Chains A and B, each alone.
Chain A
Amino acid sequence: MNFLEKCTVFIMPLILVCVAFMLLLSKRELVISFMDGAREGMATCINLLPTLLLIMCGVSALFSSGGVDVLCSIFRPVLTFLGVPEELLPSIILRPFSGSGVTAVADRLFKEIGADSYVAKTACLLMGATDTIIYTLSVYFSAANIKKTRYALPASFVVFLFSIIVSVLIGRKLL
């Protein structure tokens, strides 16, 4: 497996080398295409700022106000009913909102109960197989200039609930 990790280090530089060869060997001036593309990318990114402001403001309010703890106590009965270990609650509640927040929580979790425990491994499953919901959806929809997202949010949360169940089941049966 260590070999796999080594390989991934090479992916990015290799892509760059391929592009370098393309620029060298092509008869057309591909650098101009690069400039055009980069300019479009810049506009897209700057246009994302208003969305990012709203999201970051909302998420940080949720963290600093103690809203996360309130959410934890609201969802505790449901999640323990599903067989979720008590220690995993904070990472589950944070998952839809914040990527770095979950990493911080996992860091504390591993320190307290050890990285090889069954709960820590279940946390890995959940974190490895899911990503933040609010941020991801907002970024893609606002970049595509979409106002009405229809079933995107409900679908994401249904899938997230399913992810919790699957990680806990696989964690309990296989690890």
Chain B
Amino acid sequence: MLSKTFSVMIIFSFVSACLTNNVERMAESFVSSLSDAVTLCLSLLGMMCFWSGIMKVIAESGVLNKLTAVIKPLIKPVFGKETAKGENLENLSAAIMANFLGLGNAALPLGINAVKSFEKNNKSGIATDSTIMFAVLNTVPFQLVPSTLIALRSKYGSQNPYDVVPYIWLCSLIIISFAVVVCKIMSRLWRKKL
């Protein structure tokens, strides 16, 4: 996926740059984009280390068992039986909770823990349905408090910056349900190609 996405983006950009006479800017931005990537990686590093460590402590203390018991009935129909047990379930529950509570930076390392445990015994390099479901659901997050949006709205003098929040919840719920259905249908269709 990555190679195709990258190639399409670069070729499309180059053609657009030639059309809009922006080749020089494209060349300049290439250099800064590489250092941006390193900066991003470094800024993730602390969070990644810390939350992976915390996750391990929590997992060994057994606190997660109680949490997973609550979430399990929701996870089972969406992710299937295999994912809804043991280490997979623990990591997945932690990632879902972090997302739900809006712990943005903590949600990523916990999510990565989850997909790593899904694919631990997978040597083929072909994604399993659980990982795809998880990744796709991560493109449609459920934010309890969309703090960036609220901050932006109050910055420009909104009367009540919070008034959209219930509608965002409604939107999210509809979209997340749709995403689950799409993944389920597509996993059937793609099975033949495996």
Cα separation A6 to B20 with both chains bound (whole Å): 47
A34-B53 in contact (CB<8A): yes
Chain B, residues 43-72, CB within 8 Å of chain A (1/0): the string is: 011001111111111101101000000000
Q: How large is the interface on B (under 10, 10 to 19, 20 to 34, 35 or more residues)?
A: 35 or more
Using CB atoms, name the residue of chain A closest to B20: A66
B156-A131 in contact (CB<8A): no
A166-B171 in contact (CB<8A): yes
A82 within 8 Å of B (CB atoms): no
CB-CB under 8 A from A128, the residues of chain B are: 143, 146, 149, 164-165, 168, 171-172
Selected from A120, A143, A155, the residue in CB contact (under 8 A) with B132 is A155
CB-CB under 8 A from A121, the residues of chain B are: 164, 167
Q: How large is the interface on A (under 10, 10 to 19, 20 to 34, 35 or more residues)?
A: 35 or more
Cα separation A11 to B189 with both chains bound (whole Å): 41
B159-A56 in contact (CB<8A): no
Chain A, 80-107, CB within 8 A of any chain B CB: 103, 106-107
B101 within 8 Å of A (CB atoms): yes
Chain B, residues 128-142, CB within 8 Å of chain A (1/0): the string is: 000110111011110
Chain A interface SS verdict (over half):
helix
B131-A156 in contact (CB<8A): no
Selected from B51, B57, B168, B182, the residue in CB contact (under 8 A) with A22 is B57
A17 within 8 Å of B (CB atoms): no
Chain A, residues 132-175, CB within 8 Å of chain B (1/0): the string is: 11101111111111111111111110111011001100110011
Cα separation A57 to B20 with both chains bound (whole Å): 19
Instruction: Give the shortest distance, in Å, between A82 (CB) and chain B (any CB).
Output: 15
Given contacts A67-B13, A131-B139, A155-B136, is CB(A52)–CB(B41) below 8 Å? yes
B9-A62 in contact (CB<8A): yes
A78 within 8 Å of B (CB atoms): no
Cα separation A32 to B183 with both chains bound (whole Å): 39
A34-B132 in contact (CB<8A): no
B9-A58 in contact (CB<8A): yes
Cα separation A160 to B55 with both chains bound (whole Å): 31
CB-CB under 8 A from B6, the residues of chain A are: 54-55, 57-58
B75 within 8 Å of A (CB atoms): no
Using CB atoms, name the residue of chain B closest to A6: B145
A107-B186 in contact (CB<8A): no
CB-CB under 8 A from A1, the residues of chain B are: 162, 165
CB-CB under 8 A from A149, the residues of chain B are: 1, 127, 132, 135
B14-A151 in contact (CB<8A): no
Q: Given contacts A36-B56, A110-B155, list 4 more A-B pairs with CB under 8 A.
A: A58-B5, A67-B13, A70-B19, A127-B146
Residue numbers of A with Cβ under 8 A of B are 1-2, 4-5, 8, 11-12, 15, 18-19, 22-23, 26, 28, 30, 33-42, 44-46, 48-49, 51-67, 69-70, 103, 106-107, 110-111, 114-116, 120-121, 124-125, 127-134, 136-156, 158-160, 162-163, 166-167, 170-171, 174-175
